[in-house]
């Protein structure tokens, strides 16, 4: 889920990405060595190719240079979501109900932080994942990261 800094970046970048004809799925702001990595995920109905990422990267770089929302050194990476696409918003979870997911929580629940299984349901409060032991009810606010798990059957 998003932090305050990520929310501000999302608000700044969303109109530019949408203006280019893409959907901004979400972003990650990660510590990396002496700087940070801003990873932006984009999508489009026809899929995303290298040229799409390059076009969005050029536009976002120009905007970030002018607005300077991040202090210090950082790298920008624009990426397609891939087959193991990250889930950022409630709508993403709801779109992939019935699919396998991997979810990592901020704090342990039922003695663990990582859950993998079939996504059963999602609402603003919780995500339900069917794991080997039965349904796991995961609080939406505790989700650190979530991805589709298409490579596990």
What is the distance between the alpha carbons of residues 147 and 93, in angstroms, rounded to a whole number? 9
Model-level pTM?
0.83
Which residues lie closer than 8 Å to 148 by C-beta, 6 or more apart?
Answer: 83, 84, 85, 87, 96, 99, 100, 101, 102
Q: How far apart are CA 66 and CA 122, in angstroms?
A: 38
Contact criterion met (CB below 8 Å) for 40 and 78: yes
**All structural domains of the chain:** 4-79 (3.30.300.70), 90-148 (2.30.30.100)
- Do residues 44 and 50 make contact, with C-beta atoms less than 8 angstroms apart? no
Summarised one tens digit per residue, pLDDT across range 53-105 is: 999 999 999 999 999 888 888 999 999 999 999 999 999 999 999 999 999 99
Percent of the chain with pLDDT over 70: 97
What is the DSSP code string of 46-114? T---HHHHHHHHHHHHHHHHHH--S-S-EEEEEE---TT-B--SHHHHHHTTTSEEEEEEEEEETTEEE
């Amino acid at each position: 889920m998003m932090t305050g800094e990520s929310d501000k970046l999302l608000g700044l970048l969303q109109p530019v990405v949408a203006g280019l004809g893409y959907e901004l799925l979400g972003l990650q702001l990660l510590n990396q060595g002496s700087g940070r990595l801003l990873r932006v995920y984009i999508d489009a109905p026809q899929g995303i190719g290298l040229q799409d990422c390059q076009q969005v990267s050029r536009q976002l770089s120009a905007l970030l240079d002018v607005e300077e929302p991040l202090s210090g050194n950082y790298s920008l990476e624009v990426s397609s979501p891939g087959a193991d696409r990250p889930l950022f918003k409630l709508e993403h979870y709801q779109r992939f109900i019935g699919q396998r997911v991997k979810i990592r929580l901020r704090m342990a629940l039922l003695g663990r932080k990582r859950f993998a299984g079939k996504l059963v349901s999602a609402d603003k409060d919780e995500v339900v994942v069917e794991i080997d032991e039965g349904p796991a009810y995961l609080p939406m606010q505790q989700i650190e990261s979530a991805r589709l798990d298409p490579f596990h059957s």
